[in-house]
A and B are shown apart, each in its own frame.
Chain A
Amino acid sequence: SALCPQWPYCRKHCSYCNFNKYVVPAVDEAAMGACLVREARTLLRLSQVQSITSVFFGGGTPSLASPATIAAVLDAVASAAHLPASAEVTLEANPSSASTSRLAGFRAAGINRLSIGVQSLDDAELQLLGREHTAAEAWGAVEVARGLFPGRTSLDLIFGLPGQSLGTWARGLEVALGLCDNHISLYQLTLERGTALAAQVSRGAQPTPPQDLLADMYQTARAMLVAAGFQHYEVSNFARKGALSTHNLSYWRAEQYIGVGPGAHGRFVPWGEGGRSREARVQTLEPDAWMREVQSQGHGTRRRVVLSPLEQLEEVLALGLRTDEGISHERWRHFSPHLSLEAVFGVPGEARALQQQGWLLLDGGGLRCTWEGLAVLDSLLPDLLCQLQRR
């Protein structure tokens, strides 16, 4: 099972981000750390998970937490379940909180993989995104990280910024390819409601990126990365030399994961309290409220919903098709012992039409998108869900 602790604090609001994050004058790190430890213990006991395959510190900005706090959480995990040395333990880091000494501290605390929020290597773009760091600082942070976590450093880039041209994006990506390690995530900017950037675009202060340009940017990036030896293993993720993120793959493979911290999501069977079904769980969003709940009852679970077999299959489908491997017959059978992939999608219907149109493949390997289909997955899924729901 995977474990995802959330550190909910940031130093500054980025203009595009709508995550559950908080900018506060003073963080009570000791209390937050203690609560993360306590909730991790509670939920691990509840899930009866024997072994943790990966840990991913997300947020917020978890690199703002001290290495000691990270170490405390990892110690708690190791004492409550088996945490093998081979487990992938990732920390999300901002270039502005990634000094050599901090990163070394994180490594000493047990972190063995770093995901750096570079976002762009252009100062004007970074400013538009409301980032704290400069391109030079990002460059420096990645170099330090690569030194400390060789082969296990990832960087994030955002494309489709208002005003960005295809040329600028391609050149920026070229530069990033000269900097990056073996893993890179490329995210198309989503203008989320309620963010400063979305407001600027909607009132016309920034141009809306045209749909066709975004498609061109995506296709150009895919081609460049594949040419540079990367495997395009998920919609927005690329890896070479087998450096795929096992943690993130566990989401897309619909494996179990335990969310710890304010606003964290989880999917697991609570065997520890007699549960038999996979549940969707959300922890209380607001950090102070969450901490009070953890302090009084050991966890801050706000919502638990039992997922029906159909709902589980819907998630398997929507998540699995995001990857290049797709959904294997074996994984499908794990969630649907009585109705095979062939029985659902091999019969006349939407999936067959989508196969004939070249968007989808169903063969011995399972069900997956074609290269072209992956780019329009969200147009395929409603059809596939319709077909699934009829069975």
Chain B
Amino acid sequence: VVLAGRTAMWWARLRSPCPAAVPLPLCLPPWLPAGPVARERLYSSHGKEKLDMSMYPVESIRNFSIIAHVDHGKSTLADRLLEITGTIVKTDRNKQVLDKLQVERERGITVKAQSASLFYNHEGVNYLLNLIDTPGHVDFSYEVSRSLSACQGVILVVDANEGIQAQTVANFYLAFEAQLAIIPVINKIDLKNADPERVEKQIEKLFDIPIHECVRISAKLGTNVEKVLQKVIEKIPPPQCNTADPLKALVFDSTFDHYRGVIANIALFGGEIQKGHKIVSAHTKKRYEVNEVGILTPNEQPTHKLYAGQVGYLIAGMKEVTEAQIGDTLFLYKQPVEPLPGFKSAKPMVFAGMYPIDQTEYNNLKSALERLTLNDSSVTVHRDSSLALGAGWRLGFLGLLHMEVFNQRLEQEYNMSVILTAPTVPYKAILSSAKLIKEYGKAEITIISPAHFPDKLSVSEYLEPTVLGTIVTPHEYIGKIIALCQDRRAVQKDMLYIDERRVMLKYLFPLNEIVVDFYDALKSLSSGYASFDYEDAGYQAADLIKMDILLNGNPVEELSTIIHNDKAYATGKYLCERLKDSIPRQLFEIAIQAAIGKKIIARETLKAYRKNVVAKCYGGDITRRMKLLKRQAEGKKLMRKIGNVEVPKDAFIRVLKRQTDK
């Protein structure tokens, strides 16, 4: 079987909706032979020699990841490594761009990681090199950290032309803090503008890695890639664990297969595992019987067993991806072990309302959401409804990109167009009122909806989520970028010239200040040259308030927002102006106000119609006229009445929708 590029089969299985009703061969990549042969090859272990993994003792195993900034060549290097080790056949088709989502291409991120076991003979020893890929974006930093915890080393790829970028820095620190061996690789040395010396100096300055340790390669041409493999064997230590210990397996990724259920990617920190073993999840305490284990090459290849230090997959009758949560520890029934540290359930950081454009599409959207979340347990889904937008959901995402990827997959894979409201972040409040504390059963509460924003009088402190942002930029844009950051209430933490022309800035941002359009603003004011990455930085005290929007004194529930006091006036004014442009004139004057409690902070006045009657109406154009009037009458039925003010749905959409979708 020819495996094209970024293990296209893997992708195809992950990506395509592949609903159960569709006959399987239709879901196969087009270059694979359809029919029972292909089916067997992919999805069944029958008639196939199972690998004996006991040939690979711990000393001959290396577990590593490749980490890099967007487009610096991580996937191309992975393709070359797979080719050199004979894991995939060398062909022109091995290009990582296959089948990617638009948002991934635009932002150069990998949403779903792949992993592969490589077999490599070095100086007479057969090595098992496990390449554990990581999702390529900070929204998935928890997954990245879990993937890294299955590794002992990383290959840090930096573009010889672009040099260190924001994500390079973030990735480096993740690996550094996990105390992993780091192999710096300077890629794309074949490019005309490549300047590996400069990049080596940046690496030395910023990461304190001696220049001579950098490997200069061209992943595209294959130059020096063998050297990288040798470095992996020499520099990265084998995993420290023992097959004689009880089973301890880390779940570092999971996917859903319509035919076989959940496929969990695991790394064994101790013991061994095989078909028939009874296992328990440390997180859910649920018990399963193992149906199949194997390695990823990179499609699933069943093995008799997996041993300590090895990496592979497991199928054990789990029905939902939530049963195989990333970071969970699996152990043998009645042989419990201390779970691996650091497990957390996926924590949504960005929330947005999602509504069908047309309510008759509700059920279709619902089933599309269900199918998409089968493969992405990190999205939280709660039913919600809005008087203006109808029935919908409140979705929680790991971050903005995660939200965008999800939305784009809905559009591209399920052909669903939705109204996505402007994203909000989870705030917190420390309650001071004994009554409220009793009601909630705790003093610290998380506030997702403005409707549940507790009054200042019963709160000792409000908290907002923050992130530590890293920006790497050519120095000529510093002034503009600093102004942008200040406007976003960010506090500068660090500023460092990584070479004569490039600067790295670190800012502590309130998360809500970057969730809407920060990335786009940064890109546009730096002509696309500045890069940005961020990591969770916990909560900080914040002067938060709830702002209401009133129409002739009546609050519009769906337009209430929680915002920082400093931003209230500007946001209030902006919302009022936008509403004024979106609500049609009516027979009376309409006051559009932004209010904090009883205090009005912004006001726009929509004047009453004083004349609204078409001048000429004779025999000629009555049909057209009647059509227009009837359309207006139909529109009336869809309007939301706030007091006596009629507000068209479009007005809500225009105000609530994310700005990028203007």
A contact residues vs B (CB 8 Å cutoff): 4, 19, 187-190, 211-212, 214-216, 218-219, 235-236, 248, 251-252, 257, 259, 263-267, 280, 282, 305, 311, 314-315, 318-319, 322, 357, 359, 374-383, 385-386, 389
With A and B bound together, what is the CA distance between A214 and B635 in angstroms? Answer: 26
Beta-carbon nearest neighbor of A266 in chain B = B619
The distance in angstroms between the C-alpha atoms of A379 and B611, with both chains bound, is: 9
What are the residues of chain A within 8 A of B610 when measuring CB–CB?
211-212, 215-216, 219, 375-376
Q: Does B607 contact A (CB under 8 A)?
A: yes
Among B613, B616, B622, B632, contact of A265 (Cβ-Cβ < 8 Å): B622
In the complex, the answer to whether B618 meets A211 with C-beta atoms within 8 Å is no
- Assign chain B's interface to a size class: 20 to 34
Q: B79 to chain A: closest CB distance in Å? A: 53
* B626 adjacent to chain A (CB < 8 Å): yes
Task: Give the residue name and chain of the A residue nearest to B622 (CB).
Answer: A315
Given contacts A382-B633, A386-B637, contact A236 B616 (CB under 8 A): yes
**A190-B616 in contact given A319-B622, A357-B587 (Cβ < 8 Å):** yes
Chain B 108-146: CB-based contact to A (< 8 A → 1; otherwise 0): 000000000000000000000000000000000000000
- Which residues from A are CB-within-8-Å of B629? 314, 318, 378, 381-382, 385
Instruction: State in angstroms the CA–CA spacing of A280 and B621 once bound together.
Output: 11
Shortest beta-carbon distance from A160 to chain B in Å: 9
A62 to chain B, nearest CB (A): 14
B616 and A211 contacting across the interface, CB-CB below 8 Å: no
| Contact partner, A376, options B611, B616, B618, B626, Cβ 8 Å | B611
Beta-carbon contact of B615 and A235 below 8 Å: yes
Which residue from chain B places its CB closest to the CB of A18 in the assembled complex? B621
Residue of B nearest to A374 (CB): B613
Contact call B626/A214, Cβ cutoff below 8 A: no
Bound: A124/B611 CA distance, A: 26
Contacts of B611 in A (CB 8 A): 188, 211, 214-215, 218-219, 375-376
A386 with B633: CB separation less than 8 A: yes
Contact yes or no, A259 B626, CB < 8 A: no
The answer on a CB contact under 8 Å between A257 and B619 is yes
Selected A-B contacts with CB under 8 Å, 10 pairs: A188-B615, A235-B613, A235-B615, A265-B619, A265-B620, A315-B622, A319-B617, A357-B587, A378-B613, A383-B636
Q: Does B523 contact A (CB under 8 A)?
A: no
Assuming the contacts A311-B626, A359-B587, A386-B637, asked whether A378 and B612 have C-beta atoms less than 8 A apart, the reply is yes
- Asked whether, in the complex, the Cβ of B613 is within 8 Å of the Cβ of A382, the reply is no
CB of B660 within 8 A of chain A? no
- Looking at the assembled complex, report how far the CB atom of A173 sits from the nearest CB atom of chain B, in whole angstroms: 15
Q: Are B613 and A385 in contact (CB under 8 A)?
A: no
A379 x B587 contact (CB < 8 A): yes
Report Cα–Cα, A236/B611, bound state, in Å: 12
Given pairs A211-B607, A314-B630, A374-B613, 10 additional interface contacts (CB within 8 A):
A188-B615, A215-B610, A219-B611, A265-B619, A319-B617, A376-B610, A376-B611, A377-B612, A379-B586, A379-B609
- State which of A267, A357, A374, A380 has its C-beta within 8 Å of the C-beta of B619: A267
Q: Which residue of A lies closest to B637 (CB)?
A: A386
User: Of A235, A263, A376, which contacts B617 at CB under 8 A?
Assistant: A235
Flag whether B527 is at the interface (Cβ < 8 A): no
Bound form: Cα–Cα A212–B612 in Å: 11
Q: Is B623 part of the binding interface, using a Cβ–Cβ cutoff of 8 Å? A: yes
Closest Cβ of chain A to B635, distance in Å, is: 7
Q: Let me know if B493 is at the binding interface, CB within 8 A.
A: no
The answer, yes or no, to whether B625 is at the interface (CB within 8 Å) is: yes
**Using an 8 Å CB-CB cutoff, how does the interface string of B577-610 with A read, 1 for contact, 0 for none?**
0000000011100000000000000000001011
B477 CB to closest chain A CB (Å) equals: 34
Q: How far is the CA of A19 from the CA of B616 in the complex (A)?
A: 12
Q: Which of B586, B613, B626 contacts A315 (CB 8 A)?
A: B626
A218 — which chain B residues lie within 8 A by C-beta? 611
Residues of A close to B637: CB separation below 8 A: 386
Asked if B614 is an interface residue, CB under 8 A from chain A, the answer is: yes
A250's closest neighbor in chain B, by CB? B619
Which residues on the A side are within 8 Å of B622 (C-beta)?
Answer: 251, 265, 267, 280, 315, 318-319
Pair A248/B587 contact, Cβ less than 8 Å: no
CB nearest neighbor in B for A19: B620
Interface of B (DSSP majority class): loop
Q: Select one of B585, B618, B619, B635 contacting A382, CB under 8 A.
A: B635
Q: How far is the CB of A222 from chain B (nearest CB, A)?
A: 10
Smallest CB–CB gap between A42 and chain B, Å?
A: 18
Q: How far is the CB of A161 from chain B (nearest CB, A)?
A: 13
- Which B-chain residue is minimally distant from A248 (CB atoms)? B618
Distance of B462 from chain A, by nearest CB (Å):
43
Give the 10 A-B CB pairs with smallest separation, nearest first.
A215-B610, A215-B611, A385-B633, A382-B632, A377-B613, A382-B633, A188-B615, A187-B615, A378-B612, A375-B611
A257 to B618, CA, bound (A): 11
Shortest CB-to-CB span from A105 to chain B, Å, is 26
Instruction: Give, as a whole number of angstroms, the nearest-CB distance from A163 to chain B.
Output: 19
Q: A314-B626, A386-B633 are in contact. Are A236 and B615 (CB under 8 A)?
A: yes
B403 to chain A, nearest CB (A): 37
Expressed in whole angstroms, the Cα–Cα distance for A314 and B622 within the complex equals: 11
Would you give the shortest CB distance from A84 to chain B, in whole angstroms? 21
Measured in the bound complex, the distance between the Cα atoms of B586 and A379 in whole Å is 7
- Nearest CB on B from A162, distance (A): 16
**For the complex, what is the distance from the CA of A378 to the CA of B609, rounded to whole Å?**
10
Q: What is the distance, in angstroms, from B455's C-beta to the closest C-beta of chain A?
A: 37
Closest-CB distance, B61 to chain A (whole angstroms): 71
Query: Does B633 lie within 8 Å of A389, measured CB to CB?
Result: yes
Note all chain A residues with C-beta closer than 8 A to B625: 318
Residues of A within 8 A of B614 (CB): 190, 235, 378
Of the listed residues B610, B615, B619, B622, the one surrounded by the most CB atoms of chain A closer than 10 A to its CB is B619
> CB-CB < 8 A to B636: which residues of A?
382-383, 386
Contacting residues, chain B, for A315 (C-beta < 8 A): 622, 626
Q: Which residues of B contact A318 (CB under 8 A)?
A: 622, 625-626, 629
Contact B612 A375 (CB under 8 A): yes
Instruction: Report chain A residues within 8 Å CB of B609.
Output: 211, 376, 379
A212–B606 alpha-carbon span in the complex (Å)? 12
Query: A41–B587 Cα gap in the complex (Å)?
Result: 47
| Residues of the B chain whose Cβ atoms lie less than 8 Å from the Cβ of A248 | 618
The A-contacting residues of B in range 546-595, CB under 8 angstroms, are 585-587
Set of chain B residues within 8 Å of A389, measured between Cβ atoms: 633
> Within 8 Å CB of A257, what residues of B?
619
B632 to chain A: closest residue by CB = A382
Q: Is the CB of B612 within 8 A of A376?
A: yes
Q: Please report the C-alpha to C-alpha distance between residue A389 and residue B636 in the assembled complex, in whole angstroms.
A: 12
Determine whether the beta carbon of B619 is less than 8 Å from that of A190: no
Q: Are A251 and B618 in contact (CB under 8 A)?
A: yes
Min Cβ gap A216→B in Å is: 8
A375, B619: Cβ atoms under 8 Å? no
A311 contacts across to B, CB distance below 8 A = 626
CA distance A177 to B632 in the complex (A): 37
A265 in contact with B621 (CB, 8 Å): yes
Q: Which residues of A contact B621 (CB under 8 A)?
A: 265
Contact A322 B617 (CB under 8 A): yes
A375 to B621, CA, bound (A): 20
A263 to B620, CA, bound (A): 8
Closest residue to A359 on the B side, CB-wise?
B587
Among B586, B613, B620, B637, chain A packs the most CB atoms within 10 A around the CB of B613
Nearest CB of chain A from residue B516's CB, rounded to whole Å: 31
Q: How many angstroms between the C-alpha atoms of A318 and B626 in the bound complex?
A: 8
Closest residue of B by beta carbon distance from A281? B623
Q: Is the CB of A265 within 8 A of B587?
A: no
Nearest-neighbor residue (CB-CB) of B618 within chain A: A251
A-contacting residues, B125-183, CB 8 Å: none
Q: How far is the CB of B261 from chain A (nearest CB, A)?
A: 53
- In angstroms, Cα B619 to Cα A151, docked, is 24
Contacts of A190 in B (CB 8 A): 614-616
Q: Within the complex, what minimum Cβ distance (angstroms) separates A279 from chain B?
A: 11
Distance between A365 CB and nearest chain B CB, rounded to angstroms: 21
B638 to A: closest C-beta gap in Å: 11
Interface residues of B in 614-662 (CB under 8 A from A): 614-623, 625-626, 629-630, 632-633, 635-637
